Amino acid sequence: MTDSYSPESAHLEAILLVGGQGTRLRPLTLSTPKPLLPTAGVPFLAHQLARARSFGVRHIVFATSYRASMFAEVFGDGSAFGLTLEYMTEDSPLGTGGAIRNAAQALACGPDAPVLVLNGDILSGHDISEQVDLHVSRGAAVTLHLTEVDDPSRFGCVPTDEDGRVTAFLEKTPHPVTNRINAGCYVFQRSAIDTIPAGQVVSVERETFPGMIASGELVLGYADRSYWLDVGTPAAFVQGSCDLVMGRLASPALPGPCGEYLALEDSKVSPSAKISGGTVVGARAVVESDASVRGSVLDAGCVVESGATVVDSVVGAGARVSSGAVLRNAVIGDGAVVGSGNELLAGARVWPGVRLPAGAVRFSSDV
């Protein structure tokens, strides 16, 4: 057990993994990295930064790759969040382990300090302080946040023994032995990060964690049943935004009170429009008379015309949904136009700038 780290005497440092291209969220991520997509009225990462600070984090290193310069443009030095932010960019993607090792060069802590590692596409309500306390009290090399899901085959399955020690790390196995999965938030001992090979492509899920377990190092699981969501798909992204607006997950970064919808600056909502389910009406967006919008994300400057229906969908910046059009589980790219009478269902995606003429056409695939 190590006792050289004291939460009272040192602020926790963190690494934030934001290098992915977000391919499952295209076309939303064609011009914007997934962690910067507007979520409940602010960039997604604003929620993570605010939560991290509430648990005592003061210094965060971004591990960037895809469209790396955009993160500094949005968050700067972090002073607006009461944080110090630094940015470490990979010349070519290094995998999760390589990214952590590369970003660790900017850390100030010593080898016996815990380092929080966050994934930039996870919403979680778990108690980070409890996870850190468990890690420190047991002297672990790394402590993984674990959560329970209905279908663990889609994630990394993580069995533990009766003392909470991780016994295996089974990445996306078709026959999971437990419904506890890797929830994407880790507490590393700084010295453990330094054992990851520098400048190489390394996966913590397939290499680092299994290697630690095989060598007998103490890898712990911190399991709980709090709110957790991987926002890597359009449906999950919309759900996460709506859950934040509805107050199902608290966030210090939410720019307004919780409720059925959140209307941002200079947006216009007709009194006869029906808006519900945690919808966000973006800045300068317009929702006209008798339109119905439920559980959706309307980005800046978009227009939902009279009588249109938008359910569980994303309407990109400057896009237009014409009168009588219906969207259900659809994604409309920036500047696209959905003509009157069209129905877009079941995961249909309209690429930026595409114009669908008026008609009575039903789409359930990419356009």
Active site residues: 172
Alpha-helix runs per DSSP H in 204-286: 209-214, 234-246
User: Which long-range CB contacts under 8 A does 207-216 form with residues at least 24 apart?
Assistant: 207/97, 208/97, 209/142, 209/144, 209/166, 209/169, 210/168, 210/169, 212/141, 212/142, 213/166, 213/167, 213/168, 213/169
Question: What tokens were used for 58?
Answer: 């003061």
Q: Counting every residue, how long is the chain? A: 367
The residues pairing with 88 across neighbouring beta strands, listed in sequence order, are: 63
Measured over the CA atoms of residue 163, residue 167, residue 169 and residue 175, the dihedral's sign is negative
The residues pairing with 298 across neighbouring beta strands, listed in sequence order, are: 281, 315
Q: How far is CA 357 from the centre of its chain?
A: 34
* Spatial distance between the Cα atoms of 37 and 18, rounded to a whole number of angstroms: 12
Residues with Cβ within 8 Å of 52's Cβ and at least 6 positions away in sequence, in order, are 14, 60, 83, 116, 118, 128
Question: What tokens were used for 86?
Answer: 């630094």
Closest Cα partner for 61 from 252, 181, 183, 190? 190
Pairing mode, strands 292-294 and 274-276? parallel
Question: What tokens were used for 297?
Answer: 């994300």
* H or E element that contains 61: strand 57-64
Amino acid identity of residue 120, one-letter, is G
Closest Cα partner for 304 from 321, 292, 318, 319? 321
CB 12 within 8 A of CB 114: yes
